[in-house]
Amino acid sequence: MSSRRTTVIAGSLVTATFSAVMMLSTTAAADDQGPGSDKGGKAVDTAPEGVGLTTLLPEKISVDNSSKKTAITATVKNDGTAESGDIRLLVVGFDGLEVKGVKGCSAIPEGDLPKGSNSGFSCAVGNLAAGASTSYAVDATFDLGRAGKICLPVQTADGAKTYWQQGPVPFGTTNPSPNAPTTPLLLGTDNQPVAPGGDAPGAGGGELPRTGAAGREVLPLGAAGAGLLAAGAAGLWWSRRPREAARGA
């Protein structure tokens, strides 16, 4: 075998090996979100008999410190014994977490977003069979200088009822790493922002806002739904049916 042919073959093997390593690395990074969790979730309106709808968010995500980009997997599942009927999933961002896109879903118009949110998408799930689940790839950005939360309501297709709502639940870290390529964030953790200049704030920094708000506040969702209701320090918000709002008017 000539030395030239040997060199070409060796070069091809190196390229193939490098490509395989890159593919494995990419897959590992995409899947490295830990098991799904329904932390911060609560059943709201009574679902039809045999229907058990919940959502799952990854226990951890990673934010690119340069681009502020992150990826989140949002899952809706039916743990019941009956079909769900026609349902939809909303993916809504708050504060430092802004939802940029959800594959296969439509953006909620700015005028229909719940008060206090900065972005949102509506996903037409359709009829979810008993024991089935559907996952959506969420592209988002996270401003590490702020707190950030996400909310996943599961509603009837017309938004009249909300069977389940997860959040707004925070992602965050108490140990910011401004000089690292990425910062890992944990679900259900209030973010400790990085101060200007790349340093974590000292003891003199102001206290971060807690998830949820004291008292009861109706947040209109416009055409996307009936509204979100804050329920104290637990940080659980759920939709309020239109007929209840009308009765209280």
Domains of the chain: 33-195+209-248 (2.60.40)
pTM of the full predicted structure? 0.71
Hey, CA dihedral for 224, 152, 237, 49, is it positive or negative? positive
Answer for the pair 226, 246: CB distance below 8 angstroms, yes or no.
no
Q: Is 154 exposed, middle or buried (0-12, 13-18, 19+ CB in 10 A)?
A: buried
Specify the amino acid at residue 50. G
- For residues 167 and 114, what is the distance between their CA atoms, to the nearest angstrom? 13
E-state strands within 44-161? 53-58, 60-64, 69-78, 86-95, 97-102, 106-107, 117-127, 133-142, 148-156
Is 128's pLDDT higher than 70? yes
192 or 208: which leads in pLDDT: 192
* pLDDT score recorded for residue 55: 98
Is 214's pLDDT higher than 50? no
Is 135's pLDDT higher than 80? yes
Answer for the pair 194, 200: CB distance below 8 angstroms, yes or no.
yes
Q: Measured between alpha carbons, how far is residue 1 from residues 6, 10, 11, 210 in Å?
A: 7, 12, 15, 70
Element (H, E) at 81: none
- For residues 55 and 36, what is the distance between their CA atoms, to the nearest angstrom? 9
Provide mean pLDDT across the span 17-36.
45
Give percent above pLDDT 90 in the chain: 60
Is 45's pLDDT higher than 70? yes
Question: How confident is residue 229, by pLDDT bands cut at 50, 70 and 90?
Answer: very low
* pLDDT score recorded for residue 141: 98
Mean pLDDT of the chain: 76
- For residues 126 and 107, what is the distance between their CA atoms, to the nearest angstrom? 17
Question: How confident is residue 73, by pLDDT bands cut at 50, 70 and 90?
Answer: very high
82 or 9: which leads in pLDDT: 82
- For residues 49 and 94, what is the distance between their CA atoms, to the nearest angstrom? 33
* pLDDT score recorded for residue 195: 62
